[in-house]
Each structure stands twice: as C-alpha cells, then as structure tokens.
Amino acid sequence: MAVSTRRLTFGRMLLTCAMLTGVLVAVMVLALRLGAVPFSLSDLAQNLLWLASGHPEKLSTDFRLIMVDIRLPRILLGSIVGAALSVAGASFQALLRNPLADPYVLGVSSGAALGAILALLALPALPLMTPLAAFLGATATIAAVYFLGRREGQLDSGTLLLAGIISASFLSAVIMFLMMTLASRDVRGMAFWLMGDLSASLPPGLLCILVAGFVLAAGAIFTTASDLNLLLAGEREAMHLGVEVTRVKLVVYVSASILTGLAVSVSGAIGYVGLLVPHVMRMLFGSDYRVLIPTSALGGAIAVVLADTLARTIVAPTELPVGAMTAMAGAPVFIYLLRRRLS
C-alpha cells in the first residue's frame, strides 16, 4: 500500500473520474435496459428524452411502471451503496493499515443486522422501521467499538481492530439466536437481506438523505486524503510531518462508519465491494488517496449496479441476492490479486 510516485495533477484526476463516470453511465443504461421485461435502446432513449425534457405524460405505462418506479430508483440506490462501501473500505484500510480491512471489519454490519431483526420482531407491519433500526444498530456498534478501541485516551488501530472483531462475533451470536425466534417466512426474508438486497422500495426523501449523508461523510474523508497518504508510513512519521493523527483517525473512523451504516441499513451486507474495489483502483490509478477516494466511489457504484443487474437477470424472473453475485465474482478476483502480490 505504498503511495504512488506519479505526480498527481488536477487534469489527471479529472480525466480519470470522467472516464469512470462514463463507464458508470454505460452500466446504468445497460441496467435500465435489461430485466425480466427488456427494452430496446431506441425505446429507452426516446422515453428517457421525454423524461429529461419535462414531458412525463408522453411516457408509456409500461415504461413508467418498470423504469421510473422500479429500475431507476434501484439503480440509484445501488450506486450510492456501492460508492459508500468502497470509500469506507479504502478508509478503513488506511486507518487500520491493513490491506484486508473492509467496511464490516469493525462489526458495523452485525450491529445493523441486529437492529433490523429487532425491528422485524417488534414492528413487522412498518417496513420503513427496518432501515431505521438497522442504522441505529450500526450507530450503537460504532460508539461501542470506539470506546472499546481507545487506549490511554487515544484511538489505537490494533485495539480498535480487536474490539471490532469481538463485537462482531458477539453480535453474530445474538443474531443467530434471534433468527431462531422468527417465523419461517421472516427468516427467509431476513436471510435474503443479510446477503445483500436492493429490492426494497424506498421513498424519494430517504434516497435524498442517503445521498446527503454520503456526500458529507465522503467529503470529510476526502479532506484528510493528504494526511492518509502520510499516515500509511506510520503514525510516528506522520506526526513528525505535522499530521494531527488523533483528529485524522477520528474523522476517518466516524465518517467511514457512517458510510457503512447508511449502506447496510438499506441494502444488507454486500460483501467484497469494500475490500476489492479499492485494491483494483490502486492497481489501475495508484495509491494516492486524493485520487483513490473518488475513483473508489465510482468503481464501487459500477460494481454494485453491475452485480445487481446480473442478480435480477441471470435467472429471471427469480432474483438472487446481490451479495451472492459480488461474492462469486469477488473471490476469484481476490485470489488473483493475492497471487499477483505474492509473485
């Protein structure tokens, strides 16, 4: 995870992000077109043009129902979730100085899952309580791991990692116990959610809150990008170079945990995205966090939208969990990266 020696310029960063944005738009168009009811490119282009020009009354009934009400919100949700998980993963890898760190390493996903299960048990008739309770569970876990991870008043990376592993193990045991108390129908739904699910219908207001939360948390991490480059060399060296290590670690920990909590609360645990996408972006564009953070966000969005498209089309009309698709694709990629690193 050494910092790239290539000189970073604003033009190079802008070109890189523009290229990835183009790929993301192409993947979104593909995701809009494919599904149990496919649309031709000409019909898709015509209806999208009417929608963008402010003439929604010209949209066909099928297009409005399938594209506007179902596919487009799902694609936007997948983009936000993928971007949040990837930025969180890159941040935790720097914070813990561990290339195997991912957004779930500190137990945030287990806390969110526990909150979701408790909501399903207590208020099964209120669907929107599930993401809210999941986020509250993730927030409680963030706070608990933070206090457990402090050592002599400072946030210690090693202690933080151990606290996260222990908390995740304990919460997983509680989850397994509670799963046994759910009805069989609810167990199936919760198991599907735990493997990653983007099929939940979210109101536009909640989607806007997710976007705002992502922008604020990712923006806070981006302000520490230069400090993260120095922090990778070691805390003592970074401190000698003028980095406020305590402040940087706190900002990164809180912001990355919020990103993880937001993503897990609406999608469940989608694995491998936060672990692998930052590594792929490093391999392609270098390890400078000033470019790694935005490229990880775009790369994560591409990965999740593509995985969700495969999940809902590969055995259509039946849907697979998104997490199953990312695991099936992610494990071989991880093995390749591992062998490439060792060779």
Is residue 5 very low, low, confident or very high in pLDDT (cuts 50, 70, 90)?
very low
How far apart are the C-alpha atoms of 279 and 94, rounded to whole Å? 12
Is residue 85 very low, low, confident or very high in pLDDT (cuts 50, 70, 90)?
very high
Q: What is the mean pLDDT of residues 260-276?
A: 88
| pLDDT at residue 224, as a whole number | 93
Written in H, E and C, the secondary structure of 104-123 is CCCCHHHHHHHHHHHHHHHC
| pLDDT at residue 21, as a whole number | 95
Using alpha carbons, select from 202, 221, 191 the residue that is nearest to residue 84: 221
When the pLDDT of each residue in the chain is averaged and rounded to a whole number, the result is 84
Q: Which residue has the higher pLDDT, 140 or 184?
A: 140
* Calculated CA dihedral for residues 189, 193, 197, 198, nearest 10 degrees: 90
| pLDDT at residue 183, as a whole number | 67
| Residue in the structure block whose two tokens are 């995205």 | 273
For residues 143 and 158, the answer to whether their CB atoms sit within 8 Å is no
- Asked if the model's pLDDT at residue 32 lies above 90, the reply is no
Domain ranges of the chain: 10-342
| Residue in the structure block whose two tokens are 């971007």 | 83
| pLDDT at residue 2, as a whole number | 46
- Asked if the model's pLDDT at residue 185 lies above 70, the reply is no
DSSP assignments along 187-241, one per residue: HHHHHHHHT--------HHHHHHHHHHHHHHHHHHHTTHHHHHHHTT-HHHHHHT
Q: Which residue has the higher pLDDT, 335 or 218?
A: 218
CATH of domain 10-342: 1.10.3470.10
Q: How would you classify the pairing of strands 154-155 and 150-151? A: antiparallel
How far apart are the C-alpha atoms of 267 and 78, rounded to whole Å? 8
**What pLDDT, in 10s, does the model give residues 202-256?**
787 888 889 999 999 999 999 999 999 888 877 788 888 888 888 998 999 999 9
Beta bridge partners of 154: 151
- pTM of this prediction? 0.88
**What pLDDT, in 10s, does the model give residues 173-182?**
988 888 777 6
* Calculated CA dihedral for residues 284, 290, 294, 295, nearest 10 degrees: 0
Element (H, E) at 155: strand 154-155
Q: What is the mean pLDDT of residues 109-117?
A: 85
Looking at this protein, which amino acid is placed at residue 63?
F
- Asked if the model's pLDDT at residue 22 lies above 90, the reply is yes
